Structure 1
Amino acid sequence: MTDSILTALALICLAAALLPAVLAAVNLAVLRRPVPEADPGPVSILIPARNEAGNIEGTVRAALASTTVPVEVIVGDDHSTDATAAIVHAIDDPRLRLVAVPALPEGWTGKNHACSHMAGLARSRQLLFIDADVRLAPEAAACLAAQARRTGAALVSGVPRQRTETLGEMLTVPMIDFLLLGYLPVPLMRRLPDPSLGAACGQLILADRAAYVATGGHSAIRTSLHDGVRLPRLFRTAGYRTDLAAAASLATCRMYQGFAQAWAGFSKNAHEGMATPRALPVWTLLLGCGQVLPPLLVLLGLLGLIPATALLPAASAWALSIATRAAITLATRAPLATIPLHPATVLVALAIQWNVLLRRERAGAATWKGRSYPVSGA
């Protein structure tokens, strides 16, 4: 490459690193932990569970330990073949109900069917959907309900603090917070009704019951494997407001155990996110130039293989990239080890997305929790 081309590439990297740096700074400034209010009204905590014997007791007991707001907890046993139902049944609390989810109808995904069934049985105006591996803090339900009431949002979500205990998890899971905080303009999301600005984390979603029924809720997205994307966009399309909150202190979640499980988990809903023929090349350019190429260019510069005019913007891009990852890491209480791993984490994320996009032509189905679902084109 000529010196001018290398310099131009380094400047592109700087611009690509600047975008998430600016957005993350703004988003971290405006996203706050909600403050609970007196008498926010009861909340129904709904937990879909399929073969969750290793998680369900801790999740249920944490939900029952909610303070400030009265709660009912409904666990939907989705045809588990392990001890999930027996564990829940052994917890003696009048606020807890264990319900059997009916057989999965054709055209539904399992989680959406379980959530829809539980929502029809819930008694409260506010429905808090949590995954079976999410541990709520005592004030979490009250905080999210207060946020909904203060903002008038019909749906409020946030990303729990993600527990990552293996290298494979640290190379995959941190991209959730990085993509949300680095590429979603939260002030615009709050100001504009555009459905494309809707975002949520499927691990933790509080929905107003009336809005949920009016939009169809999970039944309206019955084929989706990515309720964190589809549900807020459904609400916004119907004219309802959605919002996000800082939730690292409201809940924790260890969503995957090890690299293989994380790869499979992120692959199952990639086709509803980045892994589309139109979106993925753009994401590859943004993430590759802003987060992966800068350290490589700096290394080449230190070896004297690129000109000084390229080294300075490349080094600036790398500094911005690491600073952005560090700020998000501290705000979300992620392990500090994820900071130096950041370029590799981005590479793994892109590899997952490209694998899903290229595999779609060969496979055409996503598998999760022992069920296979057709993958639709995009």
Structure 2
Amino acid sequence: MSVIILIAGLSLILALLPLLLGGVNLLLYRRPKAAPPSGAAVSILIPARNEESGIAAAVDAALLSKGVEVEVVVLDDHSTDRTAEIVRAIAARDPRVRLEGAPPLPPGWSGKQHACQTLATLARHPVLLFQDADVRLAPDAARLTCGALLSGRHGLVSGFPRQETGTLAEALVIPLIHVLLLGYLPMLGMRLSGDPRFGAACGQLIAVRREAYQEAGGHAAISASLHDGVTLPRAFRRAGQGTDLFDASGLARCRMYRGWREVWSGFTKNATEGMATPAALPVWTLLLFGGHVLPWILLGWAALDPLPDGAVVMAGLAAAAGLLFRLLLLIRFRQSVVGALLHPVGILIMLAIQWSALLRARHGRPSEWRGRAYPTGPGAS
């Protein structure tokens, strides 16, 4: 058997893996339906640093919550714009809103984790719902998230909001969050096992029971992290607290980055806590390049120089499997059509970001976000 047929066969296997696993996960990954107990109360906690353009919309959306009692606590994390002024004006007309100021950032902490830890100490209710300032909750979001948390034995639940995209760079890269989550995380294993390696969340929207949060060490357990979507659920699992994921695309929306610069910087900042490690990134490169890019390279090669029929068939099936998976995600999560059709390009950009982050860390160059620099690499803490 020729080498090219073996390569095409490998590409087909790597393309079928996310399609098959993703098909199962799409059945398991659902919007929550359970109602919380009568009298349930939720503290909606929003860390905010220079968020004047969107903080009013975030707070106003949270205040429209129905079905549960809510308070909205915004922590102004040393903003240099009008963030505090805007929230203060909302608090003056609605007593459910509180504006608090962040203490100085201690050494060894990332800004978001310190802000969330501070917010947890300020919250008055037993359910803590942490949301990013660029998230817009639907009126049912707090109620159903609270229901998902309190109806089971989980200490933490998290939902992935609908990811809005406005530029080509966003459309190419941001939908890959769902490709990675649903195509490669065995969700059934996550629910049957307490292994920390199965821990996953979306840092944009995380709800916790206060007592479970305290037992897990809260955000202090991940004080230096820039990737709470990975590190916080793992901290909960290490403490014996269950975690789960749900589809929040109908409960919240978020435009996480705007334009090429923010996409690159945003995904770079926490890459070394996820894919971009020396052990993991070669494996991810094989999975993503081999399953999503290589089939199209083989088909392009075949158009220029005839390949064995078996290789062409397998490459065609692999390309179709990858495209089918993206179309399923496009329909389910209302993703960009252009981004789905240019899926291999998005994969190449994502891999470039990850390799760039790994090389940056190896050279000891800090990650930068929101005007702060954080150490990376082997000596980071």
**Secondary structure of 1:245's aligned partner:** strand
What is the match of residue 262 of structure 1? Answer: 263
**What's the CA shift for 1:150?**
2.2
The answer for the alignment partner of 2:29 in structure 1 is: 31
Mean Cα displacement is larger for which, 193-202 or 145-154? Answer: 145-154
**2:58 counterpart of 1:59:** yes
Consecutive unaligned residues of structure 2, counting only runs of 5 or more, are: none
Q: Is the 8 A contact 1:155 1:208 kept in 2?
A: yes
1:123 is matched with 124
Aligned-pair identity in percent equals 52
Letter in 2 for 1:35: K
Once the 2 structures are TM-superposed, how far is the Cα of residue 353 of structure 1 from its aligned partner?
0.4
Per-residue CA deviation, residues 134-180 of structure 1 (Å, 9 max, x unaligned), is 00011011111111122221111111111100011112211111100
Q: In the TM superposition, what is the alpha-carbon distance from 1:336 to its structure 2 partner?
A: 2.0
Shift of 1:305: 3.1
The whole-number CA distance in structure 2 between the counterparts of 1:97 and 1:246 is 29
Q: Secondary structure at the match of 1:160?
A: strand
Contact 1:56–1:132 (8 Å) recurs in 2: yes
What is aligned with 1:223? 224
Matched residue SS, 1:90: helix
How far residue 376 of structure 1 moved from its aligned partner, in angstroms, is: 3.6
SS of the aligned residue for 1:199 comes to: coil
SS at match of 1:158: strand
* Aligned twin of 1:337: 338
Aligned pairs (5 A) from 1:312-331: 312-331=313-332
Distance 1:42 1:262 in 2: 35
C-alpha contact (below 8 Å) 2:363/2:377 kept by paired residues: no
Q: Does the 8 A contact of 2:364 with 2:375 survive in 1?
A: no
The structural deviation recorded for 1:36 is 4.6
Tell whether the 8 Å contact from 1:172 to 1:348 is kept in structure 2 after alignment. yes
- Structure 1 residues 40 and 247, CA, compared in 2 at 3 Å: closer, same or farther? farther
Corresponding residue of 2:80: 81
Q: Which residue of structure 2 aligns with residue 10 of structure 1?
A: 8
TM-score relative to the length of structure 1: 0.97
SS of equivalent residue, structure 1 residue 107:
coil
- The separation in 1 between residues aligned to 2:169 and 2:324, in whole angstroms, is 22
Distance, in Å, in 1 between the alignment partners of 2:194 and 2:269 is 28
CA contact 2:364–2:377 (8 Å) conserved in 1:
no
CA RMSD of aligned residues (A): 1.2
Normalising to structure 2: TM-score of the pair?
0.97
**CA–CA distance in structure 1, aligned partners of residues 69 and 334 of structure 2:** 28
* Whole-angstrom distance in 1 between the partners of 2:34 and 2:74: 25
Per-residue deviation, residues 223-258 of structure 1 (Å, max 9, x unmatched): 000000000000011111100001110110001110
Residue matched to 2:136: 135
| Count of residues paired in the alignment | 376
3-state SS in 1 of match to 2:14: helix
CA–CA separation in structure 2 for the residues paired with 1:298 and 1:150: 49
